[in-house]
């Protein structure tokens, strides 16, 4: 009986010793996770690398001003809020716009071409927190926007009422060659984007990223009243964009 008791006691002691943690083992601390909450809003700026050659080729004729081959600067704003039933997912809205004007003077006649790009819509972003202050954000915009094109021809000189009325009514011989056309193109807008965001303070953050502005399914109108057909498909403001912004809101860290 004594031998059996000693045998059981030795088994228990061995199990207790084997159950003790090895002091040489280094315990790996659990990986820290970050949950974004709240929302923010602020100013955004965009540099659009649009296809200037396609836009210039859309206007045929000799007496046509050419747009300079350089990026287009757009400015606007964005606001967003996190939805709590899906972690780190946020929904908001944004809008931006910008334009450029080019001119051409031949003798006593001035030709002006003003081209504007604008867009806006709903933003959906998923945030990948990297550190307490730094995030990588993948998402995009779905909405509407387009291009406004203004074409003006001006023969320099004093504009007289009788000449204006005769030109409008086409009933006289004193026709003046001045006119002003406003064409508006409406597009379906999509803009996938990847942004890098950093919280400087708990209420102040900055952003830098890259995106692509796409335009599809256009419809054109003259003076917002008359439909225009035959507009070249190349007349649109799509292209690669560099995005930046400053935001005020809630930044947890």
Residue 74 has pLDDT above 70, yes or no: yes
Query: For 209-239, what is each residue's pLDDT tens digit?
Result: 999 999 999 999 998 888 999 999 999 999 9
Pick 189 or 156 by higher pLDDT: 189
Instruction: Decide if 98 contacts 117 (C-beta within 8 A).
Output: yes
Q: Which carries the bigger pLDDT value, residue 48 or residue 178?
A: 48
- Look at residue 173 in the predicted model and tell me its pLDDT: 47
Residue 131's pLDDT band (boundaries 50, 70, 90)?
very high
Choose the CATH number for 33-249 among 2.40.160.20, 3.40.50.720, 2.30.30.60, 1.10.10.1100.
Answer: 2.40.160.20
Residue whose C-alpha is closest to residue 249's, from 122, 77, 131: 77
pTM for the whole structure? 0.78
- Sequential DSSP letters for 101-150: EEEEEETTEEEEEEEEEEEEEEEEEEEEE-SSSEEEEEEEEEEEEEEEEE
In this prediction, residue 161 carries a pLDDT of: 83
Mean pLDDT of 93-112: 91
Cβ-in-10-Å burial (0-12, 13-18, 19+) of 196 comes to middle
Structural contact between residues 253 and 65, judged by C-beta atoms closer than 8 angstroms: no
* pLDDT of 86 above 50: yes
Confidence (pLDDT) at 251 = 87
The residues, ordered by sequence, that sit 6+ positions from 7 with a Cβ below 8 Å of its Cβ are none
- Per-residue pLDDT at 149: 93
Predicted local confidence at residue 174, as pLDDT: 47
Q: Would you call 32 exposed, middle or buried from its count of C-beta atoms within 10 A (0-12, 13-18, 19+)? A: exposed
pLDDT at 22: 53
d(C-alpha 79, C-alpha 41), whole Å: 4
Quote the percentage of the chain above a pLDDT of 70: 81
Residue 159 has pLDDT above 90, yes or no: no
| Beta carbons of 190 and 139 less than 8 angstroms apart | no
In this structure, of 16-20, 56-60, 162-166, 200-204, the range with the lowest mean pLDDT score is 16-20
């Amino acid at each position: 009986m004594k031998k059996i008791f000693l045998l059981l006691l030795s088994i228990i002691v061995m199990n207790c010793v084997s159950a003790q943690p090895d002091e040489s083992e280094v315990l790996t601390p659990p990986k820290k996770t970050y949950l974004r909450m709240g929302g923010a809003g602020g100013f955004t700026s965009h540099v659009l690398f649009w296809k200037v050659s396609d836009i210039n080729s859309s206007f045929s004729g000799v007496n046509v001003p050419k747009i300079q081959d350089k990026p287009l600067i757009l400015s606007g704003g964005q606001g967003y809020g996190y939805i709590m039933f899906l972690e780190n997912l946020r929904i908001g809205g944004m809008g931006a716009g910008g334009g450029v004007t080019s001119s051409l003077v031949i003798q006593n006649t001035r030709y002006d071409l003003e081209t504007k790009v604008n867009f806006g819509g709903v933003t959906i972003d998923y945030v990948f927190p990297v550190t307490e202050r730094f995030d990588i954000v993948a998402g995009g915009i779905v909405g509407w926007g387009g291009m406004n094109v203004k074409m003006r021809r001006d023969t320099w000189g004093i504009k007289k009422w009788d000449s204006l009325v005769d030109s409008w009514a086409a009933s006289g011989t004193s026709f003046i060659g001045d006119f002003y056309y406003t064409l508006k193109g409406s597009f379906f807008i999509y803009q996938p984007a990847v942004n890098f965001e950093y919280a400087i303070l708990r209420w102040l953050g900055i952003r830098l990223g890259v995106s692509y502005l796409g335009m599809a399914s256009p419809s054109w109108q003259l003076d917002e009243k008359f439909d225009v057909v035959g507009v070249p498909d190349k007349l649109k403001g799509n292209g690669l964009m560099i995005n930046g912004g400053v935001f005020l809101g809630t930044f947890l860290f």
